[in-house]
């Protein structure tokens, strides 16, 4: 059985780390993505951080049978806290951090795409750790996208971009950074073998290595001193302000979605 969209968001970082033991998700939503990490029996602890008590209650009430024991597994903790503040206080704690899909114009949510927040996530990772930030391309303008990716690469040095599906113009895209590590296809192959052989995770249709290679769009490296693209910071709140202006002027993001050509231009511009 193929994984759901929410489960697939967790599968990617699970394949990129050689031996993840400690995981945190910054955001809960339905809890399905967070709970998917529990399908890997090698994961020893999962912290799911969510600012909204209502979201936590509804995830427990309506999605308890779908989120893989998020609220009952002894390895997991659901923590009510601002995920940005939590990440800033979690130094050298996690093998995997996952950023959920955030509304770019949401009050405070645009800060989750800031240079300062990306720096906090990097500090929260153990050596060899992986940070996977999912981007809702259907909610971002081309300018939003380029600013976010450039800000990410500025902190991590390299930003690896993976599309969610094999669609030509995917609605979701993952930006991945490593703490003192590089993308390793040997790690991916080894992890695919472990997860497909394990009864606890075999229900997930783990993609073969070639499929994951196909989903990799490319890598952007930071260019010290570059001034062609503004960074999104807590001081300028560029993404939140820009996205809010678009919303207020009743321009529909979906009418001009980001395409693969737009993504390619970001790479060619670097």
Domain ranges (residues) in the chain: 5-269
3-state secondary structure at position 134:
strand
Domain 5-269 class in CATH: alpha beta
Within 10 angstroms of residue 151's Cβ, the number of other Cβ atoms is 27
Report the distance separating Cα 48 and Cα 53, nearest Å.
12
Query: In tens digits, what is the pLDDT along the chain, a chain of 270 residues?
Result: 567 888 889 999 999 999 999 999 999 999 999 999 999 999 999 999 999 999 999 999 999 889 999 999 999 999 999 999 999 999 999 999 999 999 999 888 999 999 999 999 999 999 999 999 999 988 888 889 999 999 999 999 999 999 866 555 567 899 999 999 999 999 999 998 888 888 777 667 566 677 788 788 889 998 776 667 789 999 999 999 988 887 777 555 545 566 666 676 666 555
Q: How distant, in Å, are the alpha carbons of 2, 14, 40, 111 from that of 194?
A: 17, 11, 9, 36
Global pTM reads 0.91
């Amino acid at each position: 059985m193929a994984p759901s969209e929410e489960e697939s968001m967790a599968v990617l970082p699970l394949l990129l780390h050689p031996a993840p033991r400690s995981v945190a998700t910054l955001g809960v939503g339905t809890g399905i993505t967070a709970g998917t990490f529990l399908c890997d029996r090698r994961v020893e602890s999962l912290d799911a951080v969510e600012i909204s008590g209502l979201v936590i209650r509804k995830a427990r009430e309506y999605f308890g049978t779908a989120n893989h024991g998020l609220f009952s597994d002894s390895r997991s903790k659901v923590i009510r806290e601002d995920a940005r503040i939590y990440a800033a206080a979690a130094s050298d704690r996690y093998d995997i951090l996952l950023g959920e899909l955030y509304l770019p114009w949401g009050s405070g949510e645009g800060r989750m795409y800031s240079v300062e927040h990306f720096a906090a996530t990097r500090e929260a990772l153990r050596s060899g750790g992986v940070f996977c930030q999912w981007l809702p391309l259907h909610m971002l303008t081309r300018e939003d996208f380029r600013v976010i990716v450039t800000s990410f690469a500025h902190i991590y040095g390299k930003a690896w971009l993976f599309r969610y599906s094999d669609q030509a113009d995917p609605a979701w895209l993952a930006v991945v950074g490593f703490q003192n590590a590089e993308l390793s296809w040997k790690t991916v192959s080894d992890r695919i073998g472990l997860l497909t052989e394990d009864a606890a995770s075999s229900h997930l249709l783990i993609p073969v290595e070639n499929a994951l290679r196909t989903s990799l769009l490319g890598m952007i490296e930071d260019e010290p001193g570059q001034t062609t693209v503004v960074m999104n910071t807590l001081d300028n709140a560029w993404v939140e302000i820009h996205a809010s202006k678009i919303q207020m002027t009743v321009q529909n993001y979906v009418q001009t979605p980001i395409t693969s050509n737009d993504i390619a231009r970001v790479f060619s511009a670097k």
